Structure 1
Amino acid sequence: MDKASLVLLSLVVPLVLLLLPLSRPASVVTHLPGFHGRLPFRLETGYVGVDEETGAELFYYFVESERSPDTDPVILWMTGGPFCSGMVFFEVGPMKFVLAPYNGSLPQLAYNPYSWSKTTSIILLDSPVGTGFSYARDVEGYHDIGDFSFSMHVLIFLNKWFTDHPHYQSNPFFVGGSSYAGKMSPIIAQHISQEIELGKQPKINLKGYVVGNPVTGSDYDDNFRVPYAHGVGIISDQLYEAAIRNCKGSYIRPTDKMCARVLNTFQNGTIGEFVRCKKSIPYTSEVPSSIKYHFNLTSRGYRSLVFSGDHDLVIPFLSTHAWIRSFNFSVVDDWRAWHLDGQVAGFTITYANYMTFVTIKGGGHVSIEHRPKECLAMVQRWLDNEPL
C-alpha cells in the first residue's frame, strides 16, 4: 500500500467511527465531518444480531431512495472480498472522497451524483463477521467462517431487519454484490426463495438479484484469463501460442510441466495485491461453484442482472458470459450495444427467464468505481423494466 493510501486509511477509520450508533437501536445520521451541511439523503446505521451463542452482530448502513422510497425497490448490496466493507464511500454509496487537492487534514466528502440511491433504497452490509464494523463478542465467532455461515447470517439479518422495518416489506427486493459477494448473492437469494415457499415470516418480496463481475467458480473464472489477456494485448502472441500448444485450452490445475511453466510466466506478469479488504481471518470457500444457484433462481422466474467490466482480468467478462450461455436459455434480445449520452456504454444480451448480461465499456473489476454514471444508468433502466 502506498503512502497516500495509508494516510487516507488512517483518516477514514476515525471518520467512519462517527457513523457508529451510540446504542443498540438504529441511529439516523444527519451530518458527517468533512461534508458541509446536512446530508441530502436519509442515512440509518445499526447492528443486527445474527448469532446469540457467539454474540455475532452485522453492521449496516441503510440509504433510503431519493426518488420514491415508498415504492422504489430495496437492494441489499455487499462488497466482494470476502471481508471488504460496504462503506457509504465506495461503489453504490451516496458519498465519495474528494481526493484532490489534499492537504493532510480530515478528508473532505462530496455527494455522489451516481449513487444507486437515485433509484433504489440500499442496505450496505458488512458481512461476513469480521468485515468492517461487524464483530463477535466471543472469539469463537471468528472460527469456521465460510460460505455457509456467511449466507445464513445474512438471511437472519434480513429477516430481523424487515421485521424491524415493516414499511419496506412490500417493496420489491433484490440481493446484490460485486466480486466474491457476487458469488454469495444467488446463494442468499435462494435461501430467501426457499423461505418464501415455506411460508415463513416476514415474507420478503424477493424479485431477483444483481451481481457485478461475480465470482462463480474457478472452472470458468480462471480458465478465461489467458485468452482474455491475449485478446486485450496484455500477453504476447508467442506466450499465448505456447499456452495453447502446451495447455490445450485448460489453464487451471495444470499437470503438464510445460503448461505449468507458461502459466507461471503469465501469472508473474499479471497478479497484484488488493489491499482494501481484511485478510487476517480464515475463510472457507465451501461452495465450489455458484452456477447452479443462478440456474435455479432464473428457472423459477427471478430476474437477474449480471454485469461485467470489459477491462477485468480477475473475472473476465468472457468467463461470465460463458457460464450464462451454458444454461442454453433462448435469446430474447440479441447481442447489441447499449448507449448513454449518445456513446456506446457497453454491450448487452437478454435471455429467457429474465436473465440480462451487460458489459461496461472501460470498467475494471469494480465497474461501479470506474464507470459510475454508466452503472447507474444500467441499473436504473433494468429496475424500471426499461430496455438498456
Structure 2
Amino acid sequence: MTGGPFCSGMIFFEVGPMKFVLAPYNGSLPQLTYNPYSWSKTASITLLDSPVGTGFSYARDVKGYHDIGDFSFSMHVVIFLNKWFTDHPHYQSNPFFVGGSSYAGKMSPIIAQHISQGYVVGNPVTGSDYDDNFRVPYAHGVGIISDQLYEAAILNCKGSYIRPTNKMCVRVLNTFQNLVSEIDVPQILGVNCIRGMLTHKFLSEEYTQLSDPSPEQPTIDCFSYRYYLCNIWANDDSTREALG
C-alpha cells in the first residue's frame, strides 16, 4: 500500500514492475517499460488501490465513500485480503507480509494483527508530533543541514522542533525551513521542481481524482514528469477499456 492517503498503488512507482519511458510527450499514449529493480522479481506482490476511491478502486454504493478513516480503511483491506485468499487458495501456503509506505505505515500494523506473518514499512507515518519533530535530526543525518545548525537547534530548542518556546529556537528553525525549501523533500537528490500532479490531502478532505485537469507540464528532468505521464496514461480511453 502506498501513502497519501489516497495515492494509487498503480504499478509504475517505487517497487512496481513497470515504469514510464522518459521521453518528451508527443501527444500519444505514454510508453511503459519493465522496472529492473521491481520487488516482483523475487516475490508475488499485490499493489492495492486503497482506501476506496483511490486510483481505479470504487464502491458500488455511494455509502462506501463515507466515513473513511484509518481504522475503517484497515478493516476494508482485511476484508479484501480474506476474500482474495479465498478466491486464490493456492497462495495461502505462501509467507504473507503487509507492506506500507508513508501514510500507509499507520494501517500496516493494524492489518498485520488480523492477517499476516509480519509487516514492512518505509518512511512510515506514525503521528505528527513524532514525525515532524524528527525532521531536524533526520535532515542532519542525511547531510542536508550542517553540524553547526544542528548543534544550534539542540542547544536552543532542547529537542522540541515543532513548538519553539524562545526566539533563538525560532531563528534556528526558520533557517532550517529556508534550507529545506531549496530541495524536493521526497527526492532530495533530484531537481527541485514544482510538484503539482497530485496534491496530498488528508482523509477528511476532498481528494484529487484521475479525471481532474492536468496541471502545467513539468520539465523532463523533474521527477514529477512521471506523474504527468501517469495522469495522461490513466485517463486515456484505451487504457480504461483495457482495464475493464
Same fold (TM over 0.5): yes
Larger RCO (alpha carbons 8 Å, 6+ apart): 2
- Are 2:16 and 2:38, in contact at CA under 8 Å, matched by a contact in 1? yes
Contact 2:7 2:49 in 1 (8 A): yes
Moved more, 216-225 or 156-165: 216-225
**Aligned counterparts, 1:255-294, within 5 A:** 255-271=165-181, 275-277=196-198, 279=200, 282-283=203-204
Answering whether residue 77 of structure 2 is matched by residue 142 of structure 1, we say no
The alpha-carbon deviation at position 167 of structure 1 amounts to: 1.6
Q: 1:93 to 1:237 in 2, by over 3 A?
A: closer
Alignment of 1:297-376 (within 5 A): none
TM-score with structure 2 length normalisation? 0.68
1:89 to 9, 12, 17: 12
Task: Quote the offset at 1:269 in angstroms.
Answer: 3.6
Specify the alignment match of 1:103 in structure 2: 26
**Which structure: greater strand fraction?**
1
Point out where structure 2 has 5 or more consecutive residues left out of the alignment. 185-193, 206-244
Alignment partners' CA distance in 2, 1:138 and 1:262? 51
The verdict on how the C-alpha distance between 1:157 and 1:111 changes in structure 2, with shifts beyond 3 A counting, is: same
State how far apart, in whole Å, the 1-side matches of 2:147 and 2:167 are: 20
1:121 is paired with a residue whose SS is coil
Q: Distance in 2 between matches of 1:144 and 1:137?
A: 15
Partner of 2:81: 158
**Residue identity matched to 1:234:** I
Deviations 1:223-270 (A, max 9, x none): 232133234443355543442232112213334454244324423442
Report the Cα offset of residue 98 of structure 1: 0.6
Partner of 2:117: 207
Partner of 1:132: 55
User: Do the aligned partners of residues 231 and 137 (structure 1) sit closer, same or farther apart at CA in structure 2, a change above 3 Å counting?
Assistant: same
Offset, 1:122: 0.9
Query: Aligned-pair distance for 1:219?
Result: 4.3
Residues 238, 114 of structure 1: CA spacing in aligned structure 2 closer, same or farther, 3 A cutoff? closer
Corresponding residue for 2:90? 167
Letter in 1 for 2:36: P
Contact 1:81 1:277 in 2 (8 A): no
Q: How far apart are 1:137 and its partner, in Å?
A: 4.4
1:150 aligned partner, one-letter code: F
**8 Å contact kept, 1:130–1:281:** no
Counterpart secondary structure, 1:122: coil
Paired residues, number: 194
Shift of residue 101 of structure 1?
Answer: 5.4
For 1:231 and 1:280, locate their aligned partners in 2 and report how far apart those are by CA, in whole Å.
28
1:307 corresponds in structure 2 to none
